[in-house]
Amino acid sequence: MAKKDANTPEEVGTTGHEWDGIEELNKPLPKWWLYVFYACIVWAIGYWLVYPAWPTVSSYSKGFMGYSQRGQVAKDVAASQADKAVFRDKIAAADMEAIKADPELFNFALAGGQAAFGDNCAPCHGRGAQGAFGYPNLRDDAWLWGGTLDAIHQTIQHGIRAEDSATRMSMMPAFGKLGMLNRDQVADTAEYVMSLSGNSDDAEAAARGKEVFMTNCVACHGPDGTGNKALGAPNLTDELWLYGGDKETIVETITNSRGGIMPAWAGRLDPATIKELAIYVHSLGGGQ
């Protein structure tokens, strides 16, 4: 007996559709596929009833279980905050050295400070705190206002040239723009500043610039050019430059001055977070 072919019109019939001699067979789907399909429909209806699903005019159907992803996240966040509250209360009450001396508090503060740094400080100082043009590298030892725990805490809390009554404040005059020095004096002073770090190649200009420097710059930078942390005046004898150490850039700085601004984080961040930030920044390697 010849085997029947289930793929012929004689065995399964056709839908009546035909294109260029090709007929569309009316072959039924496998039963297992239909059963799975029906089960999915039943599952979907049950899901619609149990969980939030249907939009309404001003809200949505809550479902029999009343489940809400937003609500669950809010509960998880609240639970996490409650777990952290014990440590954060201790950090808020303790001084910086006491936190550093307590391994458990110190590790908690480091983790919290790293998170807060990524959220608030990385856009300017970089994700790795390496800094950028006009933004200090927090991993080296060049600290304009000091790199101790307390000094870093003060800077974070009150900012630099910020709208805060206790902010760090200093201002370098725009010697060229204000007519305090002429163009040649500015150029000679820049040459002298470069000589302090061994980068000058014009000894005569540097000698002339030294006279100008001693008259106009020593009050802040000191007679040896090593700076003054109490005034936020940078050390000019190293090769760490916030805006660049080539002559053109130094001339620009002397001519028009520089005045970067760091916001005061007091009032934006709570006291515990500010302490955590100070401890984290101090731990990066440049803290003193």
| Known binding-site residue numbers for heme c | 121, 124-125, 172, 217, 220-221, 262
Q: Spell out where the chain has E strands.
A: 14-19, 22-25
What is the rounded CA–CA span in Å between residue 128 and residue 185?
39
In angstroms, rounded to a whole number, what is the distance separating the alpha carbons of residues 138 and 124? Answer: 11
Q: Which residue has the tokens 């304009």?
A: 144
For the chain, the 3-state helix, strand and coil shares in percent, each to the nearest 5, are 50, 5, 45
Calculate ∠ Cα 191-193-195, nearest 5°. 70
Q: Which residues are annotated as a binding site?
A: 121, 124-125, 172, 217, 220-221, 262
Would you state the structure tokens that stand for residue 201, as one six-digit string? 């190649």
The total of other beta-carbon atoms located within 10 Å of residue 50's CB is 13
Residue 285 CA to its chain's centroid (Å) = 18
SS3 state at 14: strand
